[in-house]
Chain A
């Protein structure tokens, strides 16, 4: 197969929030930039975010970034790096105000400022009471944001390659990143995108689980590509289960519903969160709420004929308020639960939602790996931002509204770093190895010729069932051990999947087979990292690490206050220290403490 070569200053993979924000930085600085995306930009999954983006604007209640930083560190169960968290919380106002200037249609307060609502785990004065920090456009914040970012890129003349599927990362023998290979979906042709800088903004891989709020496209493409190219993946055992997915359908119901006053109830109608989180109640952080819900269900207090869900009740809110602040949720509830939430509560269950781990980066968006004695040595030419990256600001558990903030702050930061590196002459176009496209061409050739293989659907389903059963909301030592074996078996099966579609034109069967390769990397990383971490922390809670006096919540700071690094080649695990030191000398570190809400 003939492989075309295209050369750019920079290539960005992914056109969701992080990719578009980075692209703006590059386009406006005049860099020749290619943005590759497997869907039209406004179809990226950022579009589905609902409740808001965090910024301590203080438009309605008093607020400041120190409180936001405290909440984020505590939410991360102290696994987040405090330099990156300080950076993100400090930058929040700037990036949110910029979006408003780009035209984003935020809701407004009576005095014309950006409307803000309360959200889980966000508090004033270091945990005292809920704070109004989530900047919202009704319950369509992600849609409003993604469209505003795309529109601003139209203005900036950003060059998009729409419906191009990135396949593999290209590195030279020194390990420097030289670009990617990618397939144009309309023609099936593979090209090399050779660039001085490569930014990954490919989103998460929530589709490794059977039940997920995530879109079909969330297959961890960049994470898988990085892993296959020898980049370790950080903290992949930490997955967020969102408390309120529509039971059965998995579609997301925003935490903003509880921010607006929604209450979770068990079969007795009891507001059970009062027992688990006496202070913030329904607005405790997501891992806490999800575990409380599963505990209610496991102890027989679930709702419905199978007692397999709980209810999210907003019937006490005024219909006007629901129509104004939560119109999208009402539509979703009617569409997917058959229930008008004005009249009856919505059946909900915790559902896989967000990947806290990812490609290791620093707060400047540089991808960092252990090298020559340093745990965080930048990979030349490689940057990442958004859900595919691990900065790490979310640590063991992300707070709601911090993901939209993450992609703005680190999308911009990665873009700025590339522009700086470009202008200072640190980035050069390195020669491509002869073999640059060989791996990608071999993957396609295998799919062309594979006989007697299982279907992509079968293998993917086996992976999703395995992840759901063996690495869910609560984790068990024996299930994790068995899960590792199972997922390695599934990974073997994925090597010989067979597709019937052999067309070169818009071959979606082939796309799904390529996506499965990426999902498998993420699934292995998750299961192996989770099995190894012998403590409970944030979203990772094990039966053999219970809450005790010496280890509150089962957390073991003596042995496990460290980041996991998983290597695909040999499933090796390494660990690196958590940065407990903020960026600025005059900012006090947030000291370790037991997490209660």
Chain B
């Protein structure tokens, strides 16, 4: 790809000076080496340093640059800019309060993550060496532990939009199952108790937006289904 000009429509809001958010029409010339949407945003920031967004690793592992790209949540650093219809519409992640431009307040998202006790619980005295785990048991964690907490999934979920304070959301539930599935964790029963409630788990209506948007190819809906299965099984 050679040099080209790309058109954007970007959600802008600076509470210090703007009464209302607005969509800014702006274009930028990209260099041949600019391949990802994040490259384009960095280029845009050279033209207008007031454009605000989070970014760090630029390789899809830190989870900073999640945003709504042409109507779909994704990571700017993993999105090919030339694959996008123009003008490229960029909005902050939906359903969370906007602090400024593409930066949202993620407090509620992390609160839900923290609510599932996202740490290994095992009250037996730790052995001198590692706890043993078979490769097969370890494989159960694949597709669960890789979550980067970017919030693409939870902020694409209508159930989370309606009840962000009550529904744990796909990211938090994926993490809950990551610990339930770990043979080293002893708190399955307490973890299920923690989710036994009309909202925390059961607001998932398998809409599967989370699966559709996850930039790491993870499947929170499947994990949620497995938690529901465990709930049913222990009820009978």
Chain A: residues with CB nearer than 8 A to chain B?
39-40, 42-45, 47-48, 57, 97, 100-103, 105-114, 137, 140, 143-144, 147-148, 151-152, 154-155, 186, 215-217, 248-249, 251-252, 328, 331-332, 335-336, 455-457, 499-501, 503-509, 512
Contact = CB atoms under 8 A, between A and B. Distances in A.
Contacts of A154: 114, 117-119
Given A97-B130, A105-B141, A331 B99 contact: no
A558 to B, nearest CB: 43
A508 B52 CA distance: 6
Nearest to A46: B62
B58 A215 contact: yes
Given A48-B62, A215-B56, A97 B14 contact: no
Given A143-B146, A506-B101, A506-B103, 5 more contacts: A43-B63, A103-B185, A108-B134, A154-B118, A506-B100
Contacts of A57: 129-130
B131 interface: yes
A457 B130 contact: no
A171 B14 CA distance: 36
B135 A335 contact: no
Given A335-B78, A504-B16, A42 B58 contact: no
20 contacts: A42-B62, A43-B64, A45-B56, A48-B61, A57-B129, A103-B119, A106-B138, A114-B130, A140-B61, A143-B61, A144-B145, A147-B145, A151-B119, A186-B99, A215-B56, A215-B57, A216-B57, A457-B49, A499-B49, A503-B100
A429 B145 CA distance: 41
A106 B132 CA distance: 11
A557 to B, nearest CB: 39
Contact of B145 (A105, A216, A248, A249): A105
A216 B53 CA distance: 12
Contacts of B118: 151, 154
Contacts of A140: 61, 146
A101 B131 contact: yes
Contacts of B71: none
B21 interface: no
Contacts of B117: 154-155
A441 B98 CA distance: 28
B144 to A, nearest CB: 9
B59 A251 contact: yes
Contacts of A331: 60
Given A456-B49, A500-B50, A40 B14 contact: no
A105 B179 CA distance: 10
Main secondary structure of the interface of B (DSSP, over half): loop
B166 interface: no
B6 interface: no
Contact of B59 (A110, A113, A332): A332
B138 A105 contact: yes
A97 B99 contact: no
A380 B139 CA distance: 48
Nearest to A59: B130
Q: Which of A106, A108, A144 has the most CB of B within 10 A?
A: A108
Nearest to B53: A508
Contacts of B128: 97
B5 to A, nearest CB: 19
Contact of B132 (A112, A335, A507): A112
A43 B134 contact: no
A134 to B, nearest CB: 15
Nearest to B78: A335
User: Shortest 9 CB-CB distances between A and B: which pairs?
Assistant: A103-B120, A112-B132, A509-B49, A151-B119, A43-B62, A501-B50, A100-B130, A503-B16, A155-B119
Contacts of B141: 105
B17 interface: yes
Contact of B148 (A42, A455, A507): A42
Contacts of A248: 33
B199 to A, nearest CB: 22
Nearest to B140: A105
B133 interface: yes
Contacts of A110: 135
Interface string B1-37: 0000000000000111100000000000000010100
Given A186-B99, A215-B57, A505-B100, A108 B120 contact: no
A48 B50 contact: no
B17 to A, nearest CB: 7
A111 B132 contact: yes
Contacts of A503: 14, 16-17, 50, 100
B191 interface: no
A500 B14 CA distance: 14
B138 to A, nearest CB: 5
A248 B33 CA distance: 7
B106 interface: yes
A45 B57 contact: yes
Nearest to B77: A335
Contacts of B130: 57, 97, 100-101, 106, 113-114
B46 interface: yes
Interface in B75-89: 78
B53 A102 contact: no
A140 B57 CA distance: 14
A252 to B, nearest CB: 8
B208 interface: no
B212 interface: no
B122 to A, nearest CB: 8
Given A42-B62, A112-B133, A215-B62, A506 B56 contact: no
Given A503-B50, A503-B100, A216 B148 contact: no
Contact of A505 (B15, B53, B55, B184): B15
A458 to B, nearest CB: 9
Contacts of B145: 105, 137, 144, 147
B126 interface: yes
B149 interface: yes
Given A113-B132, A143-B146, A455 B60 contact: no
B184 A103 contact: yes
A24 to B, nearest CB: 11
A507 B149 CA distance: 23
Q: Which of B35, B60, B119, B132 has the most CB of A within 10 A?
A: B119
Contact of B56 (A155, A217, A336, A512): A217
